[in-house]
Protein backbone atom coordinates (compact mmCIF):
# COMPACT_ATOMS: atom_id res chain seq x y z
CA UNK A 1 0.00 0.00 0.00
CA UNK A 2 1.23 3.48 -0.77
CA UNK A 3 2.41 5.36 2.25
CA UNK A 4 2.31 8.81 0.70
CA UNK A 5 -0.39 9.74 -1.78
CA UNK A 6 -0.49 12.83 -3.91
CA UNK A 7 -3.63 12.65 -6.00
CA UNK A 8 -2.99 15.70 -8.20
CA UNK A 9 -0.54 14.92 -11.01
CA UNK A 10 -0.83 18.52 -12.22
CA UNK A 11 -2.20 21.81 -10.95
CA UNK A 12 -2.59 25.24 -12.53
CA UNK A 13 -2.90 28.48 -10.60
CA UNK A 14 -2.95 32.10 -11.59
CA UNK A 15 -0.21 34.39 -10.41
CA UNK A 16 -0.93 35.95 -7.00
CA UNK A 17 -3.57 33.35 -6.18
CA UNK A 18 -3.25 30.73 -3.44
CA UNK A 19 -3.03 27.03 -4.24
CA UNK A 20 -3.33 23.89 -2.15
CA UNK A 21 -1.40 20.74 -3.00
CA UNK A 22 -2.84 17.61 -1.45
CA UNK A 23 -0.96 14.94 0.46
CA UNK A 24 -2.28 12.03 2.49
CA UNK A 25 -0.19 9.51 4.34
CA UNK A 26 -0.46 6.16 6.02
CA UNK A 27 1.54 5.04 9.02
CA UNK A 28 1.04 3.19 12.28
CA UNK A 29 4.06 4.83 13.89
CA UNK A 30 2.99 7.51 16.41
CA UNK A 31 6.17 9.47 15.74
CA UNK A 32 6.69 10.67 12.19
CA UNK A 33 7.53 13.76 10.23
CA UNK A 34 6.14 15.24 7.07
CA UNK A 35 8.18 17.26 4.60
CA UNK A 36 7.49 19.15 1.43
CA UNK A 37 10.15 19.58 -1.23
CA UNK A 38 10.16 21.59 -4.46
CA UNK A 39 11.95 20.27 -7.53
CA UNK A 40 12.41 22.75 -10.41
CA UNK A 41 13.15 21.49 -13.90
CA UNK A 42 16.86 21.75 -13.14
CA UNK A 43 16.47 18.81 -10.76
CA UNK A 44 17.61 19.99 -7.36
CA UNK A 45 15.42 19.24 -4.35
CA UNK A 46 14.61 22.29 -2.26
CA UNK A 47 13.29 21.81 1.27
CA UNK A 48 10.19 23.92 1.92
CA UNK A 49 8.52 23.01 5.19
CA UNK A 50 8.35 20.41 7.97
CA UNK A 51 5.55 19.19 10.26
CA UNK A 52 6.16 16.83 13.15
CA UNK A 53 3.45 14.41 14.23
CA UNK A 54 3.41 15.88 17.73
CA UNK A 55 3.41 19.51 16.64
CA UNK A 56 0.32 21.27 17.91
CA UNK A 57 0.33 24.06 15.39
CA UNK A 58 0.45 24.00 11.62
CA UNK A 59 3.89 24.80 10.26
CA UNK A 60 4.44 28.01 8.32
CA UNK A 61 7.46 29.26 6.36
CA UNK A 62 6.91 32.51 4.55
CA UNK A 63 4.39 31.92 1.76
CA UNK A 64 4.24 28.21 2.56
CA UNK A 65 1.97 26.73 5.18
CA UNK A 66 1.06 23.17 5.97
CA UNK A 67 -2.56 22.28 6.68
CA UNK A 68 -1.98 19.35 9.01
CA UNK A 69 -5.06 17.28 9.81
CA UNK A 70 -3.80 14.38 11.86
CA UNK A 71 -7.08 12.50 12.19
CA UNK A 72 -7.51 12.56 8.42
CA UNK A 73 -3.80 11.81 7.89
CA UNK A 74 -3.43 14.69 5.53
CA UNK A 75 -0.68 17.28 5.23
CA UNK A 76 -1.61 19.64 2.43
CA UNK A 77 0.77 22.37 1.32
CA UNK A 78 -0.69 25.83 0.83
CA UNK A 79 1.24 28.33 -1.27
CA UNK A 80 -0.07 31.86 -0.95
CA UNK A 81 0.40 34.64 -3.50
CA UNK A 82 1.76 32.33 -6.19
CA UNK A 83 4.69 33.52 -8.26
CA UNK A 84 5.88 32.40 -11.68
CA UNK A 85 8.96 30.98 -10.00
CA UNK A 86 6.79 28.59 -8.01
CA UNK A 87 6.24 26.50 -11.15
CA UNK A 88 7.89 23.18 -10.33
CA UNK A 89 7.25 19.65 -9.16
CA UNK A 90 6.29 19.40 -5.50
CA UNK A 91 6.87 16.28 -3.43
CA UNK A 92 5.38 15.35 -0.11
CA UNK A 93 7.53 13.01 1.98
CA UNK A 94 7.19 11.17 5.25
CA UNK A 95 9.99 10.32 7.65
CA UNK A 96 9.52 7.08 9.41
CA UNK A 97 11.64 4.85 11.56
CA UNK A 98 13.31 1.80 10.07
CA UNK A 99 14.20 -1.52 11.66
CA UNK A 100 17.55 -1.40 13.38
CA UNK A 101 17.43 2.30 14.08
CA UNK A 102 17.53 5.37 11.95
CA UNK A 103 14.84 6.63 9.66
CA UNK A 104 14.18 7.26 6.00
CA UNK A 105 12.02 9.40 3.75
CA UNK A 106 9.30 8.00 1.55
CA UNK A 107 8.18 10.30 -1.25
CA UNK A 108 4.84 10.73 -2.94
CA UNK A 109 4.50 10.75 -6.71
CA UNK A 110 4.55 14.52 -6.89
CA UNK A 111 2.36 17.32 -8.19
CA UNK A 112 3.47 19.43 -11.14
CA UNK A 113 2.44 23.03 -10.43
CA UNK A 114 2.20 25.57 -13.21
CA UNK A 115 1.72 29.23 -12.32
CA UNK A 116 0.13 31.26 -15.11
CA UNK A 117 -0.11 35.00 -15.76
Query: Does residue number 106 form part of the binding site for other proteins (CB under 8 A)?
Result: yes
Query: Does residue number 50 form part of the binding site for other proteins (CB under 8 A)?
Result: yes
As a whole number of angstroms, the distance between CA 83 and CA 15 comes to 5
The 8-class DSSP code of residue 53 comes to T
Total residues at interface with other proteins (CB under 8 A): 27
Query: Does residue number 43 form part of the binding site for other proteins (CB under 8 A)?
Result: yes
Query: Does residue number 90 form part of the binding site for other proteins (CB under 8 A)?
Result: no
Dmax (CA) of the chain: 50
Query: Does residue number 95 form part of the binding site for other proteins (CB under 8 A)?
Result: yes
Geometric angle at alpha carbon 99, from 95 and 102, rounded to 5°? 50
As a whole number of angstroms, the distance between CA 50 and CA 58 comes to 9
Query: Does residue number 12 form part of the binding site for other proteins (CB under 8 A)?
Result: no
CB 49 within 8 A of CB 36: yes
Query: Does residue number 91 form part of the binding site for other proteins (CB under 8 A)?
Result: yes
As a whole number of angstroms, the distance between CA 7 and CA 92 comes to 11
Query: Does residue number 107 form part of the binding site for other proteins (CB under 8 A)?
Result: yes
- Name which of 83 and 103 has its Cβ closer to other proteins: 103
Interface ranges with other proteins (CB under 8 A): 31, 33, 35, 37, 42-47, 50, 52, 91, 95, 98, 100-110, 112
Amino acid sequence: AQKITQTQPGMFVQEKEAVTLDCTYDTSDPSYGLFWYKQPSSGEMIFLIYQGSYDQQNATEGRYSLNFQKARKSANLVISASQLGDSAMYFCAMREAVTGGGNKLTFGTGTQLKVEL
